Chains A and B, each alone.
Chain A
Amino acid sequence: MFTIEQVLQPETLEEAYQALHGNISNTVLGGCAFLRLGSKKIATAIDLSELKLDYILEPGKEIEIGAMTTFRTVETHPTLHQLFNGVLPKSVSNIIGVQFRNVVTVGATVYSKYGFSDLLTALLALDTEVELYKGGRLPLEEFLQKSFPKDILTRLFIQKNARKASYQSMRNSLSDYPILTIAVSELNQRWRIVVGARPLRAQLASKASEALSNSKLTAEDIEQSASLAVEELSFGSNIRGSAEYRKAMCKVLVKRGIMEVLQCK
């Protein structure tokens, strides 16, 4: 369990940002489920609750998700059920339980770039951008690949489009962390294949995606790009599975993802 010396409930993001840079151990609080597992000694805990970042809006061509939005809100949001064949709700729906998903937040999850993250895998298959308070707006993929100075994630933006998508995860007990996660999507014959929990963080299998996009989508093409995904990404072992098993599952789940997208209306 972490300890907190001081609590700050800033009224502006600027104030929060300044506080974050005040002391090395100052920390932004999300839902705290993950922070709780550690024993961090937090000097100032920065609680974003007053900043009204708990929302999902769809003002125009985008869906906007505030950093403090909980997984349960994502899971039950009507528009998110309709868009992209419901991959976002589907990706979070196996995580522990309802009362847990009423706690954990989207912002913390994306900012922390967890390797096991179901949500990140799904988000990366969509046209997602993140907004950092100082770092500004940038594609999720770029955010995941590079490292940035300590910042606050404020919002996510997802292009509202006709992308079809599929989410697949491999778990032993259904409330366990995933052994592997896959998201596949297609828009205008451009495909995206994303693999997470390798156990490294979600990554776009760009060669496989490219090959699939340029193919005729025959059974062999699908097989081929699934194999490509396995080749181009790296896989590791942890207590949930070996690299070898993950590679094998990557191939299976990518195929299943593609097939599911092909069947989507």
Chain B
Amino acid sequence: MQIETTINGKKITLEVANDELLSDALRAKGYLSIRQGCDTSCCGLCTVWIDGKPTLSCSTLAFRVRDKQITTIEGVAQQAEEFAQVLVAEGAEQCGFCSPGFIMTVLAMKHELKNPTEQEIIHYLTGNLCRCTGYMGQLRAIKKYLGGA
């Protein structure tokens, strides 16, 4: 079916299958920052914003984003790069495969929580798995970023 939606601020008509997942639809449209790490909604790699809320694109049927605002990391490139600079200075992007979903969640947290505590940061990001870094460097980067931003 055809749906109208907004991706990164641009109105777009998407042709999607009834059972197509948003993650697949986005990759097919060329948003290659969308990564998938699982098939059971567990890893957070595929996180995008739907109407500003961090959401698993792998668990969202594409037709359901009709008339919604979708944001991928391509749509917040500048903010993403600002945070990425801090992340990279900590070396906490190791293979980088989890990073886009992780960064989208960090930025969402920044919008949603004011001065989060360490506990709140960890809680907000628990749904973002990372097998490489051991999480500590990511936490250091977030603290620096929030402290400095």
Contacts and interface: CB of A to CB of B under 8 A. Distances in A.
Interface residues of B, number: 28
Interface string B10-29: 00000000110100000000
The prevalent SS among residues of A at the interface is mixed
Contact of A98 (B41, B50, B127): B127
Contacts, number: 80
A100 B59 contact: yes
Chain B CB count within 10 A is highest, among A101, A102, A103, for A102
Contacts of A174: 126
Interface in A66-104: 72, 93, 96-103
Interface stretch (B60-68, B71-79, B138-146): B60-68
Contact of B59 (A3, A7, A36): A36
A37 to B, nearest CB: 6
A47 B64 CA distance: 9
Interface string B82-125: 00000000000000000000000100100000000000000111
A33 interface: yes
A117 to B, nearest CB: 16
Indicate the size class of the contact surface on chain A.
Answer: 20 to 34
B19 A100 contact: no
Interface in B46-72: 47, 50, 53-56, 59-61, 63-64
B6 to A, nearest CB: 17
Instruction: Give the dominant DSSP class at B's interface.
Output: mixed
Contact of A99 (B40, B61, B105, B123): B105
A31 interface: yes
A96 B53 contact: no
A99 B54 contact: yes
A42 B39 CA distance: 19
Interface in A158-207: 174-175
B56 to A, nearest CB: 5
Interface of A: 1-7, 29, 31-33, 36-37, 42, 45, 47, 49, 72, 93, 96-103, 174-175
Given A93-B123, A103-B55, 5 more contacts: A36-B40, A98-B125, A98-B126, A99-B105, A102-B55
